[in-house]
DNA sequence: TTGAATATATTGTATTATATATAGTATGTT
DNA sequence: AACATACTATATATAATACAATATATTCAA
């Protein structure tokens, strides 16, 4: 049996193998995946585990399996990009400036609106959470905390403060994408580490209950990042 | 065996049963779901099909299953709200003004930004597609086409024109939510059917390659809808 | 009280058998 | 020849059984 020490179990191992292979483009849409039987052979895994992996991948929108037709790959538009597994596979397989831009464009849609909502509806514990993250960012500037973790926590806490379940659910998405794409942003010349005062401006606007200002402050950060990326393209 | 004529197969039937039950709150987070064995008994289904359903639900972030611990329900924040199945279950089980507001707030984040992108990057076929949808909306005003379908197609075609895979993936999300929530919007007094000229304004801005105007036109529609909803709350 | 050994319940994996759905082929009728 | 019907082969769908791995709970000794 193949090494799979990293994975929780055989099914998850296979989900990862097939999922990343599909996203990488190892299987064409016309040909689809090999049949269940072939997958079993190739990975030396029972049909039970194989079928469970297939079910998980079809639940994520990557594939569809039908009797006689076999396992076919879905059009990219059907993939659940907001599933953290799928997103991970995509970012890992094709870590490009284009996908970084796509991701930042989405953040530009989401985060200013979330900041605006937060300024309207954040409660005390929400605000305290944002403040804590901001404090971590300040310490990170002095090298006393991890800059990426602090940055993620800040943006995540703002989404949480929006009180909107859809925005809240995007926290894991943002976290995943930030973690993967950080290597690229770091390689862009002149990309500053997350600027404390810019982030502080969002916090102050939220505390002041000023949605427009919070929106603008959040937008400022992301527009700068986006300009930088598009300048490189 | 239980009636399941609607479903493609046993596994999908069970996924639907359990998924909607979980979302509805039939199982508490502390107690979790019954064990595999119990589910088999209760639904008179083999363990194979049961396990495959469990795998699909865990792929959607609803549950986690571990040896000896059984099947536990994930915190709501882990659920893949952007999975159309999950979204459907949520909207069907608790079709409230609150969730309609949450959904519209998300649209307010996404759609104006998508319209702005569309104005920048839409190609000829994108524009033609938007125009076609707009034409359907006009005909719908005269009762010659389905108003909801036309409306959905319009907003969907704008997302597609953004050329951003994340926005494009949200098409199925928007479609699902619009289809479910339409019953409520229709019940709100004074809610007009989708206004043709407002939608036309977006189209014209895209054709004119004016991102700001496209953004504003899209935002106008959604702000109006949101105000109406919040007025009712 | 603590900690290690053990029992036990639950999911994980494998195997075999049968059922069902469907693309493709053959057959037969008009 | 055209078209509908029936048949066949094949892949997935379902079931049943057996055993393995794992983590909780219990027991018992130090």
| A13 & A121 share domain | no
Q: Domains in chain B: how many in total?
A: 2
Per-residue flag: B58 CB under 7 A of strand C: no
Beta carbons of A146 and A138 less than 8 angstroms apart? no
| A30 & A141 share domain | no
pLDDT at B191 over 60: no
Domain housing B73: 4-78
**pLDDT (average), residues B171-192:** 76
CA distance B172 to A204: 37
Per-residue flag: B70 CB under 7 A of strand C: yes
Per-residue flag: A47 CB under 7 A of strand C: yes
Q: Looking at A78, A112, A138, which one is the last position of a domain?
A: A78
Tokens representing A119? 């300024």
B101 found inside a domain: yes
**Residues of chain A predicted below pLDDT 50:** 1-5
pLDDT for the residue A2: 43
How many residues in total does chain B contain?
Answer: 233
> Which CATH number is A184's domain given?
1.20.120.530
Contact assignment for A113 to B114 by CB distance below 8 Å? no
CB pairs under 8 A between A and B: 107
Q: Looking at A78, A107, A123, which one is the last position of a domain?
A: A78
Nearest to B165 among A58, A81, A168 (CB): A81
User: Residues near chain D (nucleic strand), Cβ < 7 A?
Assistant: A 35-37, 47-48, 51, 54, 65-71; B 1, 9-11, 44-49, 52, 66-69
Helix (H) or strand (E) holding B233: none
pLDDT at B32 over 80: yes
Nearest Cα neighbor of A35 from A55, A54, A16 is A54
A131 found inside a domain: yes
| A219 & A146 share domain | yes
| A151 & A212 share domain | yes
User: In this structure, which long-range contacts are made by residues B98-101, counting pairs with CB atoms below 8 Å and at least 24 apart in sequence?
Assistant: B98/B233, B99/B181, B100/B181, B100/B184, B100/B185, B100/B229, B101/B226, B101/B229, B101/B230, B101/B233
- The residue among B60, B96, B106, B126 with the most chain A CBs within 10 A of its CB, best to mutate, is B106
Give the residue, B95 or B122, on which the prediction is more confident. Answer: B122
| B60 & B137 share domain | no
Q: At B4, is the pLDDT very low, low, confident or very high (cuts 50, 70, 90)?
A: very low
pLDDT at B1 over 50: no
pLDDT for the residue A43: 92
CA distance A99 to B141: 40
Q: At B7, is the pLDDT very low, low, confident or very high (cuts 50, 70, 90)?
A: confident
Our measurement of CA A9 to C1' C13, in angstroms, reads 10
Beta carbons of B110 and B170 less than 8 angstroms apart? yes
> Which CATH number is A29's domain given?
1.10.10.10
> What digits encode the pLDDT tens for the residues B60-113?
999 999 999 999 999 999 999 999 999 999 988 887 889 889 999 999 999 999
| B68 & B99 share domain | no
Nearest to A55 among B11, B109, B113 (CB): B11
| A130 & A225 share domain | yes
CA atoms within 13 A on the CB side of A67: 2
pLDDT for the residue A11: 93
| B21 & B71 share domain | yes
């Amino acid at each position: 049996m193949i090494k799979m020490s990293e994975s929780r179990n055989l099914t998850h191992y296979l989900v990862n193998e097939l999922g990343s292979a599909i996203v990488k483009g190892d299987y064409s849409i016309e040909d689809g995946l090999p049949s269940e039987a072939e997958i079993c052979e190739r990975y030396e895994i029972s049909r039970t585990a194989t079928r469970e992996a297939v079910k998980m991948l079809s639940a994520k929108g990557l594939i569809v399996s039908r009797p006689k037709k076999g396992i076919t790959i879905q059009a990219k538009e059907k993939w659940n990009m907001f599933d953290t597994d799928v997103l991970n596979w995509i970012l890992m397989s094709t870590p490009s400036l284009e996908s970084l831009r796509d991701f930042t464009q989405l953040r530009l849609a989401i985060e200013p609106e979330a900041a605006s909502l937060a300024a309207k509806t954040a409660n005390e514990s929400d605000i305290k959470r944002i403040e804590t993250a901001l404090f971590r960012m300040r310490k990170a500037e002095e090298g006393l905390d991890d800059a990426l973790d602090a940055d993620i926590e800040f943006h995540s806490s703002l989404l949480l403060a929006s009180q909107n379940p859809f925005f809240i659910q995007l926290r894991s998405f943002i976290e995943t994408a930030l973690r993967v794409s950080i290597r690229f942003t770091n390689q862009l010349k002149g990309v500053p580490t997350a600027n404390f005062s810019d982030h502080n401006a969002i916090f102050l606007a939220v505390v002041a209950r000023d949605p427009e200002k919070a929106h603008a402050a959040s937008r400022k950060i992301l527009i700068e990042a986006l300009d930088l990326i598009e300048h490189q393209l």
